[in-house]
């Protein structure tokens, strides 16, 4: 079968000689409908976040059950499912609570399919346990694939700050890409706060307005923080969601977040932050959430089935993976690119 393989630093190749896996025990073989292209792939490809192993990329996956191992119950051929991405041990307390993104054993094992183990940019994908599947019912797997990360990650980040996102507060979203464009819709649907969105191009800012941002600011402007403070006034932003995570965006976040606010850094942009007592308002919770839980993914599917969120999708062939990654490096993708076998 065909697969998009990571061979090492900046070396991604589309190959045709991968054997189609056969599921045993609790394993499930999925016929891939779509595999989303996430910026985290670029951190792996360009910066060596995962080293020393060759594997198939793609950690945002959806498809149809093709074949199940002898111990799998409750699924049959043709069922449309998402693959929950962060694969934990399945046994520890966080895993039992469905929070495999915070599995006790994360430091001992690969992070999941497409993140050290074979992922979904291929004709078929082997999922190690039916526990990691979430049914999508009438949703199209091509369109639904990015729900597993581009929607789940911001959903989980927003949910933890929900009590602070009241209608008299402001929330700042930095980066209106794959994750950020869904974050805006989730905020619009489940929170009351007024949204201020930041990106670095005019088309992304116009896109943010369409998705529910009341205000947009170009974070390349030297006075971006002052522009935001002019909107929020002295109270500042109760929650800042940073989907870039560069030193400059973290710095912007610290300048606009309010007393007792949340500064949530989702982006893995390699930024640095040096704590200083005067650098952060009192009471701020700074956090770096990773992905979300399996049950939160079910809630995300609910939002999509109710048409409260939609992923803006570009469809591409597996063969075009390298071109798509290059466009992502240049910030040229609107919403999410999905590779379709």
Give the residues lining the site for ligand NAD (CB under 6 A): 38-40, 43, 149, 153, 174-180, 198-201, 204, 219, 243-246, 248-249, 266-269, 289-291, 328, 331, 333
Q: Closest by alpha carbon to 66, among 113, 159, 133?
A: 133
DSSP assignment of 215-230, as one string? Answer: EEEETTSTTHHHHHHH
Judged by beta carbon, residue 89 or residue 162, the one nearer Zn ion is 89
Q: Residues 317, 340: contact at Cβ < 8 Å? A: yes
Judged by beta carbon, residue 23 or residue 267, the one nearer Zn ion is 267
CB under 5 A: which stretch of 23-31, 88-96, 243-251, 324-332 binds Zn ion? 88-96
List, in sequence order, the alpha helices (H) in the chain: 39-47, 93-96, 141-144, 152-161, 178-190, 202-210, 224-232, 247-256, 294-305, 321-329
CB under 5 A: which stretch of 86-94, 133-141, 276-284, 305-313 binds Zn ion? 86-94
Question: How far is 171 from 257, CA to CA, in rounded Å?
Answer: 9
CB under 5 A: which stretch of 14-22, 30-38, 50-58, 140-148 binds Zn ion? 30-38
Judged by beta carbon, residue 49 or residue 129, the one nearer ligand NAD is 49
Judged by beta carbon, residue 103 or residue 208, the one nearer Zn ion is 103
The least CB distance from residue 20 to ligand NAD, in Å, is 28
Residue 40 makes contact with Zn ion by CB under 5 A: yes
List binders of Zn ion among 148-177 (CB under 5 A). Answer: 149
The least CB distance from residue 118 to ligand NAD, in Å, is 19
The least CB distance from residue 69 to ligand NAD, in Å, is 29
Question: How far is 218 from 249, CA to CA, in rounded Å?
Answer: 11
CB under 5 to 8 A by kind: which of Zn ion, ligand NAD, none does 92 bind? Zn ion
Judged by beta carbon, residue 71 or residue 287, the one nearer ligand NAD is 287
The least CB distance from residue 324 to Zn ion, in Å, is 14
Calculate the CA 38 to chain-centre distance: 7
CB under 5 to 8 A by kind: which of Zn ion, ligand NAD, none does 89 bind? Zn ion
Judged by beta carbon, residue 284 or residue 337, the one nearer ligand NAD is 337
The least CB distance from residue 314 to ligand NAD, in Å, is 11
From the list 44, 103, 280, 284, which residue makes contact with Zn ion (rule: CB under 5 A)?
103
Residue 35 makes contact with Zn ion by CB under 5 A: no
DSSP assignment of 57-87, as one string? Answer: --SEEEEEEEEE-TT--S--TT-EEEEPSS-
String of b and e for 146-170 (b: at least 16 CB within 10 Å)? bbbbbbbbbbbbbbebeebbeeebb
Residue 239 makes contact with Zn ion by CB under 5 A: no
What separation in angstroms does the CA of 38 have from each of 29, 147, 208, 273? 22, 12, 19, 24
Q: Residues 300, 154: contact at Cβ < 8 Å? A: no
Judged by beta carbon, residue 64 or residue 285, the one nearer ligand NAD is 285
In the bound state, the residue with its beta carbon closest to ligand NAD is 177
**Which residues contact Zn ion by CB under 5 A?**
38, 40, 88-89, 92, 95, 103, 149
């Amino acid at each position: 079968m065909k697969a998009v393989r990571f061979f090492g630093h900046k070396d991604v190749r589309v190959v045709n000689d991968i054997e189609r896996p056969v599921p045993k025990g609790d394993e499930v073989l999925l016929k891939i409908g779509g595999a989303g292209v996430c910026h985290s792939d670029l951190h792996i490809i360009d910066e060596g976040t995962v080293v020393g192993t060759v594997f198939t990329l793609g950690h945002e996956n959806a498809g149809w059950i093709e074949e199940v191992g002898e111990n799998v119950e409750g699924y049959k051929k043709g069922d449309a499912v998402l693959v929950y991405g962060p694969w934990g041990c399945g046994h520890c307390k966080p895993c039992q609570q469905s929070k495999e993104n915070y599995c006790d054993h994360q430091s001992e094992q690969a992070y999941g399919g497409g993140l050290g183990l074979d992922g979904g940019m291929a004709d078929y994908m082997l999922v190690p346990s039916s526990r990691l599947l979430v049914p999508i019912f009438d949703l199209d797997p091509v369109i639904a694939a990015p729900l597993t990360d581009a929607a789940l990650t911001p959903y989980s980040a927003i949910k933890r700050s929900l009590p602070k996102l009241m209608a008299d507060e402001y929330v700042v979203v930095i980066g209106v890409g794959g994750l950020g464009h869904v974050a805006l819709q989730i905020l619009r649907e489940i929170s009351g706060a007024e949204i201020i969105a930041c990106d670095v191009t005019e088309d992304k800012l116009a896109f943010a307005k369409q998705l529910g941002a009341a205000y947009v600011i170009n974070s390349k402007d030297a006075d971006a923080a002052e522009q935001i403070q002019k909107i929020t006034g002295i109270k500042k932003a109760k929650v800042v969601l940073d989907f870039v995570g560069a030193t400059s965006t973290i710095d912007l976040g610290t300048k606009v977040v309010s007393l007792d606010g949340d500064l949530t850094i989702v982006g893995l942009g390699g930024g640095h932050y040096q704590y200083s007592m005067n650098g952060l308002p009192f009471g701020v919770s700074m956090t770096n959430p990773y992905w979300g839980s399996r049950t939160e993914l079910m809630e995300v599917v609910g939002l999509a089935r109710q048409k409260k969120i939609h992923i803006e999708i570009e469809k591409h062939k597996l063969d075009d993976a390298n071109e798509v990654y290059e466009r992502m490096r240049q910030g040229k993708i609107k919403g999410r690119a999905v590779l379709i076998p």
